[in-house]
Structure 1
Amino acid sequence: MHWYDGSLIAVKRKEKGWTQQYVSTQTGLSRNQIIAMEKGHFTGGIKYLRKYLEVLGLKISFVEEQNDLPQLDELSRLFGESD
């Protein structure tokens, strides 16, 4: 399960013309950590992901998960059912 889309990170890095090795040197993170972050597979501490994002000018934000499924009362209205 991916809890973030790492492709945005890779795109931003490439826009800056940076290699993964350059980012590794700038952040003190291993190249393997950089690769994992860009693939959305990173399972290390969030402080390491944050460190990489800061170098890129990105930040972490939390959003409430949206449940697009209709609720029971909405289904009743849709199908014209009443209690």
Structure 2
Amino acid sequence: MAWYDGKALALRRKEKQLTQNDISKLSGLSRNQIIAMEKGLFTGGIKYLYKYLDTLGLEITITPKVNHRPQLHELASLFDEDSE
């Protein structure tokens, strides 16, 4: 699973009425890199993702990681049938 939303990249590109080939020419990235980024499969360096984002007028934002796993003290209420 990607650590970014590839679908959001594709949506933004389409909103700007740009093709993957257009982004490739504007950013200097290969079309294969762009395809991988939009599918959430890109494993290259962040500098390449940055180039794509910059071309789309987007930026990277760092936020605290959200822990979606329940804590030990929350487990009882998750399995308690009377807690509905």
Superposition TM-score, scaled by structure 2 size: 0.80
Alignment pair present for 1:4 and 2:4? yes
Give the Å deviation of 1:66.
Answer: 1.5
Match of 1:53 in 2: 53
Give the Å deviation of 1:62.
Answer: 1.9
Identity, in percent, stands at 60
| Structural RMSD (CA) | 1.7
Give the Å deviation of 1:70.
Answer: 4.0
- Is there any run of 5+ residues in structure 2 with no aligned partner, and where? none
- Is there any run of 5+ residues in structure 1 with no aligned partner, and where? none
Match of 1:22 in 2: 22
Say which structure is richer in helix.
2
Q: Which one has the largest radius of gyration? A: 1
List 4+ stretches of structure 1 deviating above 6 A.
Answer: none
